[in-house]
Amino acid sequence: MSENILDTGYTYKSGSFLDEFKIIVSNWQDDKSLEENFITFENQDYFGKLTDSWNKEVLSHIKRRYFNNSSNQFDYLKKALNIFKDNKVKNFIIYIYLGWSDPLFKMFIVNFVFEAYKKHKAFITTKEVISFIENLPDDPTNPRYTTHEMRRKVAGGLLSTCKDFGILKGRAKKEFSIIIIPDEILAYLLYWLKENCISSKQIVENFSWKFFLLEKNEIEDLLLKAHDLKLIMFHQVGEVYRIDWLFNDLGEVLEYYSKREN
């Protein structure tokens, strides 16, 4: 696990940087390395801000948060953002990507937001998130926050990030949004999981469904929908699952949607 994921938490002081990340993806040069691309972004004002220090700070946050994943998922993400026109679809793809890239954000969604939703809480407060941060397990992958003010800023940033992606809504108290998963996101997530899980049961039980606050019966319903959409062949007997794939990989799925979009 790379060193720069040990302290991603402080980068949440300013929310998701979603628009800035989209600018980076749209201007990414495949013939350059990650470091070379970031040097280019530092030297040119892609974000339209007035100070070099602001640009460097934002780039530092984005690099720590969004670039701790395998290169093939970033390649899929670039292709998907170029194919899909719907901004909600684009944002959800980035949301999945961030959930796999940043361990703190993944832990926040899976262990806190989803659990609060499952308990039918009406809203989430900054105070509750601060408590979550204070009680993070003491292991090397979790950042340390030495002051209450830092924890408050990080808590606010995590909540703002969820709001940016449409998972939560509201101001001081964040309520749960009604999440409708587009067919394109269902296809994208299923075939991303195909490449990262070794069995149908692992796919059904994968943490990624919790990003969308889905419980087991809802996941099964979505798999049946994917079957009807001819994305997969899904068979279930009790808790025994079998998924037969109608596309070879996520790249082939994106080619399919590229033809549909055009």
Assess contact for 163 and 169: CB atoms under 8 A.
yes
Helix/strand/coil for 235 = strand
Q: What is the DSSP string of 97-126?
A: HHHHH-HHHHHIIIIIIHHHHHTT-S-B-H
All domains in the chain, ordered by first residue: 1-68+102-178 (no CATH), 183-261 (1.10.10)
Which among 217, 224, 262 is positioned nearest to 243, based on CA atoms? 224
What distance in Å separates the CA atoms of residue 12 and residue 216, rounded to the nearest whole number? 30
What is residue 11's predicted lDDT score, i.e. its pLDDT? Answer: 56
What is residue 15's predicted lDDT score, i.e. its pLDDT? Answer: 77
Long-range contacts of 195-199 (CB under 8 A, 24+ apart): 195/72, 195/249, 195/250
| pTM metric for this prediction | 0.91
**Per-residue model confidence as pLDDT tens for the chain (262 residues):** 333 333 455 556 667 899 999 999 999 999 999 999 999 998 888 887 657 787 888 888 888 889 876 667 899 999 999 999 999 999 999 999 999 998 889 999 999 999 999 999 999 999 999 999 888 876 655 666 677 888 888 899 999 999 999 999 998 889 999 999 999 999 999 999 999 999 999 999 999 999 999 999 999 999 999 999 999 999 999 989 999 999 999 999 999 999 987 7
Assess contact for 145 and 9: CB atoms under 8 A.
yes
